[in-house]
Structure 1
Amino acid sequence: MKQVQLILLLSVSLVLLGPILVISIDLSSFNDDVLGLIVFKAGLEDPKGKLSTWNEDDYSPCNWVGVKCDLANNRVSSLVLDGFSLSGHIDRGLLRLQFLQILSLSRNNFTGTIAPDLLSIGDLQVVDLSENNLYGPIPDGIFQQCWSLRVVSFANNNLTGKIPDSLSSCYSLAVVNFSSNQLHGELPSGMWFLRGLQSIDLSNNFLEGEIPEGIQNLIDLRELRLGSNHFTGRVPEHIGDCLLLKLVDFSDNSISGRLPESMQKLTSCTFLSLQGNSFTGGIPHWIGEMKSLEVLDLSANRFSGWIPKSIGNLDLLSRLNLSRNQITGNLPELMVNCIKLLTLDISHNHLAGHLPSWIFRMGLQSVSLSGNRFSESNYPSLTSIPVSFHGLQVLDLSSNAFFGQLPSGIGGLSSLQVLNLSTNNISGSIPMSIGELKSLYILDLSDNKLNGSIPSEVEGAISLSEMRLQKNFLGGRIPAQIEKCSELTFLNLSHNKLIGSIPSAIANLTNLQYADFSWNELSGSLPKELTNLSNLFSFNVSYNRLQGELPVGGFFNTISPLSVSGNPLLCGSVVNHSCPSVHPKPIVLNPNSSYSNSGSSLQNNHHKMMLSISVIIAIGAAIFIVIGVVVVTVLNIHARSSMLSSAAPFVFSGGEDYSGSPANDPNYGKLVMFSGDAEFVDGAHNILNKDSEIGRGGFGVVYCTVLRDGHCVAIKKLTVSTLTKSQEDFEREVKMLGKIKHQNLVALEGYYWTPSLQLLIYEYLARGSLQKLLHDDDSSKNLLSWRQRFKIILGMAKGLAYLHQMELIHYNLKSTNVFIDCSDEPKIGDFGLVRLLPMLDHCVLSSKIQSALGYMAPEFACRTVKITEKCDIYSFGILILEVVTGKRPVEYMEDDVVVLCDKVRSALDDGKVEQCVDEKLKGNFAAEEAIPVIKLGLVCASQVPSNRPDMAEVINILELIQCPSEELQ
């Protein structure tokens, strides 16, 4: 204020004394920078107080955080506020910074559109607005005043429209980055005349058309990233004339034809990715001329023929991926010269013959040769793997024709994390040294000819998350020592010859989600302790010799009859076979004992003794029954009292008001409704009883009740063990969730708190969950049309996009957490509940929350991968496939497990994807919508998080797919 007052005072003085004095004061140099920045700050939210040093009373901003000045004129020349968590619009107050050269506002939450006169600020050389939430098109005229601009980045926003042609007038431009937006249209051909361009990144957009010729003009070009777009045509013929190119990325487009020979001149290129296109012909022999290559990815194309020997000239190569092509022959021996090679992936080709021994002498970290025709016919056996080698982390030789035995010293591969030898002809036993693989988290030896027993030494593999040994000839008992593999989430031992009982130690695998022991010769009863497996969602013991009563409680209350079929001696309600009553054996005195020889008196005594014993037994049984009845009654009374006392604030009588709580009762609850009436009809006994229960989930039980105004609500009673935050933290998080309003999200209407009971009050949707509508036995009565299904998919996308915009990751998206209202609008529920947990890590997310393995993104299995919103997008992709096909994400047949994503992907590869659409629709669907939607689902469910689109992109794609016709209802 002092500065503002001084300026006003000087202005008044100049008016009054103007005729007498001539005062020359440059007011703009005195206050423009301060005023401009203060105006800019006024329109921002600064939750972390990063701009607290910006004080309007200062005469100069040069010491403010993020601000730098030119020493020559003391004016602001640089404004760098990267990662400050700022939000709001980029205010026009910045236009006052007449000497600004660098403007960098990346990694914030700025919204709104880009101002057309943004580049008229000062003499801007660098503009970086990346990683914000800016939307709308890039203004057509923004680059008309860009004579000084050298670097511009709008990456990772929500920008739409085309790349302005005016960009071609920025002759000083060196770096352009518009990646990860929603830009469409063709490339402006004038870009190739910006001779100073050194880096172009337009990846992850919807750009289309052919890449125009003329790229040879960019003689200073170092990086060219055009991946993940819709480009067609061929690679520009003269791209090789850009001799300084170090990185070329054309991945995930629809580019076809052969590679231009001029590319061999790119001897400085270190990174070349052409994966996911339609290139044909052989891999050119001149590839060996690109001697600086460190990464070469030609995967997922249509390359054929042999791998050229010249590839052995690439002695700097560290990663080679030729997977998913039509390559034949074998690996050239000269590849042994690629001494820096760490990752080799040639999976899913037509390679055959012996496996070169040099593969395991090169210090490789990852080897994937799956889906070829390699065999052991001309090769010693797998025992030739040097067990002293310590660098190998991933070894995938699955789906080949290998035979022989596993090396006894395989434990020497101490760094191994993934071992997949499935679908081969490997025989012999599992070596005991398997337990020495301390880092191993995936072991897949399924579909082989292994025999012997599962070694107890497996307990040493303490990092195991998945163990797949199905479809072998393994015998013996399941070792109890398996409980030491405490990280196990997936265990499949089906289709073997295992005997004995299922050890109760299995119940100590608290992270276990999927267990399959079907088609063995297991006997005995199922351990009661298995009900403690709180994360279990699939447990299959069908076709064994099990007997006795099925466990009662937990997962086993809802277990499918198919999962226990083929065990005729099992009993319980699930198999519709009541268990026989168990009575104590009566005491029978031996009539031939010595007492019988003592005459009639002894015989009378003998009869009296039998009578007395019978009476004693009867009396004892009666007393035992009475005591049992009394104990059960007392426990019921105690339970009812506890429930009523914990929910006391809900018990209404007459006109009592429960808006406050007694000061002398610390356990008295706090009921808060965000709007509307807080009174219930019949009190807690009608809210939290079995008759009112409508569902159960990972966070607790859900009940339905009615407010006095007739308004139905759903009440989630949180499991106390999952909630350890304080009341203050709980209320802060819940109130934040209560503010989230969207037509595709279930509204949170209130909450209730005591230290022992926490309730969340939601809107009630009587139609039920998406899972119920798709899969219930009577779902045919409520058959969803194709138009309804498309509306549901689009609505889910909008709801999830809004959550991501609010920086909320759902983590547990599945069909049971999506509800459908009477207008066919989907509403996503259970969002934000992870914020009520005390910590967020892989253990909590994968074992406590993610109860549905079919929807779980693969990165949950890797502790080193950061969990982002991309895990939600994977689950959404599975949901798309579930809605379109009407099939569950994982279905269990009598002798097989069908994974929906794999089934649909295989159908797409075979050109039969249209057959995947739900047969209940009987062909009454729009194929021009259904097929692109299925492809979108597969893209969203990509194994690689970076390949999945953002939800904003998904919405845009769905709206483009949607047909204007409403003929199919």
Structure 2
Amino acid sequence: MNKVSIFTLLFLSVVLPFPPPVRSLDPPLNDDVLGLVAFKSDLRDPDQKLASWNEDDYTPCAWNGVKCHPRTNRVTELTLDGFSLSGRIGRGLLQLQSLHKLSLSNNNLTGTVNPNLISSLGSLKVVDLSGNGLSGSLPDGFFRQCGSLRVFSVAENKLTGKIPVSVGSCSSLASLNLSSNRFSGSMPLGIWSLNTLRSLDLSRNELEGELGTKIGRLNNLRAIDLSRNRLSGPIPSEIGSCMLLKSVDLSENSLSGNLPDTFQQLSLCYYLNLGRNLLDGEVPKWIGEMRSLESLDLSMNKFSGEVPGSIGNLLRLKVLNFSGNGFIGSLPDSTGNCISLMALDVSGNLLTGKLPVWLFQDGNSTGGVKKIQVLDLSCNSFSGVIGAGFGGLRDLQGLNLSRNSLTGPIPSTIGDLKHLGVLDLSHNQLNGTVPKETGGAVSLEELRLENNMLEGTIPSSIKNCSSLQSLILSHNKLQGAIPPEMARLTNLQEVDLSFNDLTGTLPKQLANLGYLHTFNISHNHLSGELPAGGLFNGISPDSVSGNQGICGAVVNKSCPAVSPKPIVLNPNATFDPDSGEATPLGAVGHKRILLSISSLIAISAAAAIVVGVIAITVLNLRVRATTVSRSAVPIAFSGGDDFSRSPTTDSNSGKLVMFSGEPDFSTGTHALLNKDCELGRGGFGAVYRTVIRDEYPVAIKKLTVSSLVKSQEEFEREVKKLGKLRHTNLVKLEGYYWTTSLQLLIYEFLSGGSLYKHLHEAPGGSSTLSWNDRFNVILGTAKCLAYLHQSNIIHYNIKSSNVLLDSSGEPKVGDYGLARLLPMLDRYVLSSKIQSALGYMAPEFACRTVKITEKCDVYGFGVLVLEVVTGKKPVEYMEDDVVVLCDMVREALEDGRAEECVDMRLQGKFPVEEAVAVIKLGLICTSQVPSSRPHMGEAVNILRMIRCPSGSSDELGSS
């Protein structure tokens, strides 16, 4: 049968209602081939995962993702998980009458779920459509004729409406997962009749009402997760009839009442989470009878009374969270019997007494508890001292004892905690010093000791905590200078040393801390000028107030100039040239006064200085006159496309290469010395505007990393590669200039300015960028990065200030490939030299064992996408909070509020579905795991699909 007839049947199968399956007499014709080809026609396949799907094949059994019955050759399984497919799930699948398993999870599929999917394919046993963008509702009759269905999952989509009542017809259903959607209403009664159900997950929806007593019918249930809904009422006691339950999660609802006594019948249960509800009363003693428990979370409820001592019977317990309740008394000593305990959180209660001896005292014989990794006893009323025994908790990663009434010193055994990442002892009454042994806790990322009575100096050993990001020591009595070793903490982001008695000047090296966004030294006794560069160029005056000796523009106080002490002679004396002596005016008898030796030396020095200044001035005038008579600048020129000639003969001259033509460069050299012509500064250096070739404007980057630049041969080889790059959305490199001490890169000049200025520095706070403008900027930037990656070039420094707009608003990416000009450097050096803007850096920069790839650019691009859509900076600092753009948008997306993140300046003039799709792309690109981020080519295809969902990708042009 030829292709024409096949496509005719294909058209009829897709457009017309399905008749009974056609049985052709022509053996090559296969209904499954037709169905799958029709299914593929509704999809976009950017990775060509379905390239093997050929409509000319007699059978699809060799196609990627397809499995067939060995005898009938009918398709039984279709597994296309993570294929990056987009588009809709078409009717072609309804041809696969022998299909047992359909798994399309973790793609970008949109549209609605075919209401006849289950009923038309009666042999289906497994359906997994999770992790897509499916929307709409499931009709009440969706699950009719689902007798064979064993597994059904549509988790992590955008489905709405009520759960179909027909779900009760699925008499063989073992696993039902409808989590992370927007299902609403009450739970259908039919669910409680599914006595074959082993796993039920309806979490992260908008379900409401009570659970009801019929839950006890699910006597085969192993796991139930109804968390993050709006369920109310008591927990039904009938849940104890589900004696095979191993995991129960009812957290983040509005459940009330006491813990049902029937819970003690769940002897197999190892995970119980009832946190963030309205449960009250005391925790019953029988909780210790649930011997299989490994994780128990009753946090953020209204429980009262004492923590039952029977907790010590839970020998398998690894996680215990009783935080945010009203527990009183002390933590029972029997808790020390929980030999498997790894995380203990009882913060935010009314607990009193000494810190548990089984954790903090010397000679601890309870060895099992030493495995604990996270310990949070904060926000209680514990008193007494911190025993040195806590140094024996060698696996401890987080310790929070803040907001108690603890006294005494910080034990020096803190240095034994090599894995400790967070230490918070703030808001207590601790005294003594910050132990020098603190430097032994080499994994520290956050150290909070504020609001205590600590004295002494900040130990220089803090330099050993190379991972430290937050250092908060405010409101103590610390003295001495800020140790210059602090500048070695290259990961520092937040420092607060305010309200202490610190003295001296600030180490200038602090300006090199590239990640620093908060530095508060207010209300100390510091003096001198602030460091120049980095955060200190724009530091808030409030962060340095209360230091009388601090000077500079930030505090509007000029710093005294350093000059030699002036020589002062006696104004009432005359000088006798014959004797060389001075005689006071009016002195009787002209009494001679002999000048001191020091005065003679001072006078001689002053005379020598004056003579030297005069001589240098004369020489400068002669040199300047000579220079004017010669060419304007000592630059040798080389032109042409081969850019390989080096006609320089003067060792003091530089080499200028323009990739086309030989411009008159002399008219623009003044720009390098003229601050008024500076366009901006970045991680590699300053950029100036100048003119060449009959007022032709160019942008010149003056590299300020000369000590890091390779040799001239290597420098020129790499620059030539960059000079050959040509793309519509790439700032063109026009040429370069080289000397051993100065390197310049010459780019085309773009009059439209940077994307950063259009988004964040528009006059009056209004932006002229429409939604269409923003989409084109995102698409153009994506195309450019895809081109760079195809050319084996990683940008390393994607940010809005490196995306420029030409006069027509077309985006062009600059500052590309500059890392190739440097020798092989440690990634931390790269991050501090190149990544000058906070918020765009991929997390793998912080891990030495992860290879830096083009996925770093993808992460920066994802942040840029969110910045363009929302109009917000990657990191914004509020009065008492720091807002990370990625986290804010991701939370809004999970809560179904993604459209609220779009820049308010657009005033609703944007397509909501398109904007939300772009936001989702940005979040995918900022995945913490590099392998989860798409390639830039994939990002381009996704953007094309978003703009033209029903048209060809060619409509937007090629990259």
Q: Distance in 2 between matches of 1:730 and 1:160?
A: 53
Q: Distance in 1 between matches of 2:306 and 2:476?
A: 35
Amino acid at match of 1:396: N
Amino acid at match of 1:426: L
The residue number in structure 2 matching 1:461 is 465
- Does the residue aligned with 2:438 lie in a helix, a strand or coil? helix
Q: Distance in 1 between matches of 2:144 and 2:621?
A: 89
Aligned-residue offset at 1:78: 0.9
Distance 1:816 1:477, change over 3 A: same
**Conserved 8 A contact 1:180-1:203:** yes
- Does the residue aligned with 1:506 lie in a helix, a strand or coil? helix
Amino acid at match of 1:459: K
Amino acid at match of 1:369: L
Question: 2:405 aligned with 1:417, yes or no?
Answer: no
Task: Decide which of 461, 484, 490 is 1:480's aligned counterpart.
Answer: 484
Distance 1:216 1:392, change over 3 A: same
Task: Decide which of 359, 375, 389 is 1:367's aligned counterpart.
Answer: 375
Question: 2:609 aligned with 1:620, yes or no?
Answer: no
Q: Distance in 2 between matches of 1:805 and 1:223?
A: 43
The residue number in structure 1 matching 2:90 is 91
The 5 Å alignment of 1:59-74 reads 59-74=58-73
Q: Distance in 1 between matches of 2:81 and 2:33?
A: 20
Task: Decide which of 897, 900, 916 is 1:954's aligned counterpart.
Answer: 897
**Conserved 8 A contact 1:251-1:274:** yes
Question: 2:53 aligned with 1:54, yes or no?
Answer: yes
Question: 2:452 aligned with 1:448, yes or no?
Answer: yes
The residue number in structure 1 matching 2:517 is 513
Distance 1:949 1:339, change over 3 A: farther
Question: 2:877 aligned with 1:889, yes or no?
Answer: yes
Q: Distance in 2 between matches of 1:346 and 1:630?
A: 80
Aligned-residue offset at 1:295: 0.9
Amino acid at match of 1:560: S
**Conserved 8 A contact 1:104-1:128:** yes
The 5 Å alignment of 1:502-901 reads 502-507=506-511, 509-523=513-527, 525-526=528-529, 530-532=531-533, 536-537=534-535, 555-556=536-537, 558-579=538-559, 617-618=609-610, 620-624=612-616, 663=641, 751-754=731-734, 756=745, 851=837, 889-891=877-879, 898-899=880-881
- Does the residue aligned with 1:482 lie in a helix, a strand or coil? helix
Amino acid at match of 1:215: I
Aligned-residue offset at 1:151: 0.8
Amino acid at match of 1:531: A
1:475-534, CA deviations, whole angstroms, 9 ceiling, x for partnerless residues?
2333333344333333332222233333344345444333333322334x347xx335xx
Aligned-residue offset at 1:146: 2.0
The 5 Å alignment of 1:225-264 reads 225-264=225-264
1:446-465, CA deviations, whole angstroms, 9 ceiling, x for partnerless residues?
22112222233333323322
**Conserved 8 A contact 2:101-2:126:** yes
Q: Distance in 2 between matches of 1:302 and 1:800?
A: 51
Question: 2:147 aligned with 1:147, yes or no?
Answer: yes
More off after superposition, 38-47 vs 100-109: 38-47
Q: Distance in 2 between matches of 1:146 and 1:664?
A: 71
More off after superposition, 281-290 vs 756-765: 756-765
The residue number in structure 2 matching 1:206 is 206
- Does the residue aligned with 2:136 lie in a helix, a strand or coil? strand
The residue number in structure 2 matching 1:302 is 302
Amino acid at match of 2:613: A
Q: Distance in 2 between matches of 1:329 and 1:830?
A: 65
**Conserved 8 A contact 1:850-1:856:** no
1:203-230, CA deviations, whole angstroms, 9 ceiling, x for partnerless residues?
1222233334411111111111111222
- Does the residue aligned with 1:450 lie in a helix, a strand or coil? coil
1:780-807, CA deviations, whole angstroms, 9 ceiling, x for partnerless residues?
xx799xxx9xxx9x99999999999999
Q: Distance in 2 between matches of 1:610 and 1:517?
A: 42
The residue number in structure 2 matching 1:910 is none
Aligned residues: 802
Distance 1:752 1:355, change over 3 A: same
Aligned-residue offset at 1:140: 4.2
More off after superposition, 131-140 vs 558-567: 558-567
Gaps of 5+ in 2: 8-22, 361-365, 583-591, 645-656, 661-666, 691-698, 710-714, 736-744, 787-795, 903-959
- Does the residue aligned with 2:423 lie in a helix, a strand or coil? strand
- Does the residue aligned with 2:480 lie in a helix, a strand or coil? coil
Q: Distance in 2 between matches of 1:233 and 1:831?
A: 57
Q: Distance in 1 between matches of 2:136 and 2:704?
A: 45
Amino acid at match of 1:264: Q
Q: Distance in 2 between matches of 1:401 and 1:289?
A: 34
Amino acid at match of 1:889: Y
Q: Distance in 1 between matches of 2:519 and 2:201?
A: 46
RMSD of the TM alignment (CA)? Answer: 6.1
Amino acid at match of 1:365: Q
Q: Distance in 1 between matches of 2:274 and 2:748?
A: 53
- Using structure 1 for the length normalisation, give the TM-score: 0.67
Aligned-residue offset at 1:569: 5.0
Task: Decide which of 395, 404, 412 is 1:408's aligned counterpart.
Answer: 412
The residue number in structure 1 matching 2:20 is none
1:177-228, CA deviations, whole angstroms, 9 ceiling, x for partnerless residues?
1212233232222211122111111212222333344111111111111112
**Conserved 8 A contact 1:89-1:111:** yes
More off after superposition, 606-615 vs 343-352: 606-615
Q: Distance in 1 between matches of 2:677 and 2:393?
A: 61
The residue number in structure 2 matching 1:196 is 196
Aligned-residue offset at 1:144: 2.3
Aligned-residue offset at 1:770: 8.0
Distance 1:573 1:958, change over 3 A: closer
Q: Distance in 2 between matches of 1:365 and 1:812?
A: 36
Aligned-residue offset at 1:159: 2.3
- Using structure 2 for the length normalisation, give the TM-score: 0.68
**Conserved 8 A contact 1:424-1:447:** yes
**Conserved 8 A contact 2:508-2:532:** no
Q: Distance in 2 between matches of 1:609 and 1:425?
A: 59
- Does the residue aligned with 1:238 lie in a helix, a strand or coil? helix
More off after superposition, 138-147 vs 467-476: 138-147
- Does the residue aligned with 1:143 lie in a helix, a strand or coil? coil
Question: 2:470 aligned with 1:490, yes or no?
Answer: no
**Conserved 8 A contact 2:501-2:524:** yes
Distance 1:326 1:41, change over 3 A: same
1:576-612, CA deviations, whole angstroms, 9 ceiling, x for partnerless residues?
4445565556779999999975899x99xx9999999
- Does the residue aligned with 2:68 lie in a helix, a strand or coil? strand
Amino acid at match of 1:402: L
Distance 1:460 1:247, change over 3 A: same
Q: Distance in 2 between matches of 1:608 and 1:392?
A: 70
Question: 2:78 aligned with 1:79, yes or no?
Answer: yes
Q: Distance in 1 between matches of 2:331 and 2:236?
A: 30
The residue number in structure 2 matching 1:928 is none
The residue number in structure 2 matching 1:18 is none
More off after superposition, 490-499 vs 308-317: 490-499
Percent identity reads 41
Amino acid at match of 2:517: Q
Aligned-residue offset at 1:155: 1.2
Q: Distance in 2 between matches of 1:577 and 1:72?
A: 90
- Does the residue aligned with 1:328 lie in a helix, a strand or coil? strand
**Conserved 8 A contact 1:483-1:506:** yes
Gaps of 5+ in 1: 9-23, 538-554, 647-660, 671-681, 706-714, 739-749, 774-778, 820-826, 892-897, 902-936, 960-969
Distance 1:164 1:837, change over 3 A: farther
The residue number in structure 2 matching 1:158 is 158
Q: Distance in 2 between matches of 1:154 and 1:732?
A: 45
Distance 1:616 1:386, change over 3 A: closer
